[in-house]
């Protein structure tokens, strides 16, 4: 038995040292991990060398930086430019655009619509001018009319005791005002030789001409429009003395003199005009008058000699009269007997301008040879939508 045990110990000496196996395994793991670290370091070094080489090549050839801005509807702009210069409409006819982009849709029957950049330029010029558009409510629609629903009465209310029967209150009256859209057009012209000049910016020239014509036509119609093939102006509704004002009419305040302001207290009629407007409208109200009337009004002083007119102290801000902004619109009438030279009101509530957002261009090379005519058209309408929001000053004794 002793001899057998000795032989077993000689055949398996590691059984006498169990820690040797663990030590050997750890040594192998450490060696393998060091090898992995060396491989990672080599790979990172190679990648760094490649990036350095690419950077040097880029700097050597001076590659220009790529723009991150992609011009919207560039194909439409190029196609429209070709159409304006040469009459080539193949690019426009084959152009596929998104249906939601109303300002870039194509309708060859009535002309081609301008690209969004040109339409935006014209729109910004229309909005920034001294026109009623800048203070009125402007909505864009995709229809021939725009309906405004007005509730101009109260439902009524009353106090009730515990035992008395509830009495019927007033029923509100609902009014519908329908604003019809009318065609507004302009027709500037240019020579073919000018259009052939590559340095001539035909789009900028055309947008400036169209906007100028539209500004003049719109500004006049929004004040004096008759409603026949043009918008209804703010001076179109029937005018009545403010004391007997009813819905559908515009109330006026007299100056107290037959053909001018009164000589003794000329400010009184303006104070009465301001406070003839309800407080909720008065908070956002604006005076509208022409330059001659503004010249006369700015000379008016109060009883202690202070001018009621205050010039703007910041660029782009309107002058104020009695603390309210003044819009100088040359289409308002002059001071004369029985005229209405000043309007005062909240025009965001009182006057609505409805328009389609698209603008059509039709090229005509035949009617005015050797010049090229550009027939531009849009659809716009306007009307008084809240008769309580606007008051007028009338030059009269009563």
The answer to whether 106 touches 112, Cβ cutoff 8 Å, is: yes
Runs of H (alpha helix) within 87-165: 90-93, 116-128
| C-alpha to C-alpha distances, 337 to 10, 220, 296, nearest whole angstrom | 137, 21, 15
What pLDDT score was predicted for residue 67? 47
Which tokens in the block code for residue 75? 């194909």
Q: What's the residue count for the chain? A: 398
Give the pLDDT score at 288: 97
pTM equals: 0.71
Give backbone dihedrals phi and psi of 341, rounded to 5 degrees, phi first. Answer: -80, -15
Domain ranges for the chain: 74-156+169-231+356-384, 239-354+386-394
| DSSP letter string, 270-297 | HHHHHHTS-HHHHTT-EEEE-HHHHHHH
Asked if the model's pLDDT at residue 150 lies above 70, the reply is: yes
Average pLDDT, the chain: 82
Q: Is 29 exposed, middle or buried (0-12, 13-18, 19+ CB in 10 A)?
A: exposed
Q: What are phi and psi of 158, to 5 degrees?
A: -170, 160
In angstroms, rounded to a whole number, what is the distance separating the alpha carbons of residues 43 and 40?
5
pLDDT attached to residue 328: 94
**CA–CA distance, 24 with 351 (Å, rounded to integer):** 94
pLDDT band at 396 (very low <50, low <70, confident <90, very high): very high
| Per-residue confidence (pLDDT) for residue 244, from 0 to 100 | 96
Q: Which CATH architecture does the domain made up of 239-354+386-394 adopt? A: 2-Layer Sandwich (3.30)
Q: Which CATH architecture has domain 74-156+169-231+356-384?
A: 2-Layer Sandwich (3.30)
Tokens 């558009």 sit on residue: 133
What whole-number distance in Å separates Cα of residue 272 and Cα of residue 261?
Answer: 13
The predicted pLDDT at position 369 comes to: 86
**pLDDT tens digits for 91-111?**
666 555 544 333 334 444 456
Does residue 241 carry a pLDDT above 80?
A: yes
303-345 pLDDT per residue, tens: 888 898 998 877 778 899 999 999 999 999 999 999 999 999 9
Comparing C-alpha atoms, which of 60, 68, 95, 102 is closest to residue 81?
A: 95
């Amino acid at each position: 038995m002793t001899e057998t045990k000795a032989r077993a110990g000689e055949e398996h000496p590691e059984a006498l040292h169990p820690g040797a196996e663990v030590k050997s395994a750890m040594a192998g793991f450490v060696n393998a991990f060091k090898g992995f670290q060396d491989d990672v370091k080599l790979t990172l070094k190679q990648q760094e060398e490649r990036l350095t080489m690419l950077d040097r090549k880029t700097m050597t050839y001076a590659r220009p930086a790529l723009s991150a801005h992609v011009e919207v509807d560039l194909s439409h702009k190029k196609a429209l430019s070709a159409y304006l210069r040469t009459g080539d409409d193949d690019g426009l006819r084959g152009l596929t655009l998104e249906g939601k982009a109303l300002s870039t849709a194509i309708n060859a029957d009535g002309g081609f619509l301008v690209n969004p950049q040109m339409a935006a330029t014209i729109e910004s010029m229309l909005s920034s001018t001294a026109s009623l558009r800048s203070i009125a409510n402007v909505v864009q629609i995709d229809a021939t009319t725009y309906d405004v629903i007005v509730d101009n009465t109260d439902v009524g209310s009353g106090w009730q005791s515990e035992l008395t029967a509830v009495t019927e209150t007033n029923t509100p009256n609902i009014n519908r005002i329908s604003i019809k859209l009318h065609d507004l057009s302009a027709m500037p012209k240019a020579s073919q030789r000018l259009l052939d000049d590559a340095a001539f910016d035909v789009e900028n020239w055309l947008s400036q001409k169209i906007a100028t014509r539209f500004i003049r036509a719109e500004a006049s119609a929004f004040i004096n429009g008759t409603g026949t093939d043009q918008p209804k102006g703010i001076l179109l509704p029937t005018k009545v003395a403010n004391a007997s004002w009813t819905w559908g009419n515009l109330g006026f305040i007299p100056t107290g003199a037959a053909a001018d302001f009164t000589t003794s207290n000329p400010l009184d009629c303006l104070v009465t005009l301001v406070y003839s407007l309800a407080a909720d409208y008065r908070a956002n109200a604006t005076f509208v008058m022409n330059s001659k009337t503004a010249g006369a009004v700015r000379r008016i002083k109060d009883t202690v000699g202070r001018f009621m007119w205050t010039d703007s102290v910041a660029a782009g801000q309107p002058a104020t009269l009695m603390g309210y902004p003044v819009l100088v619109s040359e289409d308002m009438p002059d001071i004369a007997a029985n005229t209405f030279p000043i309007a005062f009101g909240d025009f965001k509530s009182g006057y609505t301008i409805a328009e389609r957002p698209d603008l059509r261009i039709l090229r005509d090379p035949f009617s005015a040879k050797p010049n090229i005519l550009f027939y531009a058209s849009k659809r716009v309408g306007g009307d008084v939508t809240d008769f309580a929001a606007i008051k007028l000053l009338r030059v009269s004794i009563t």
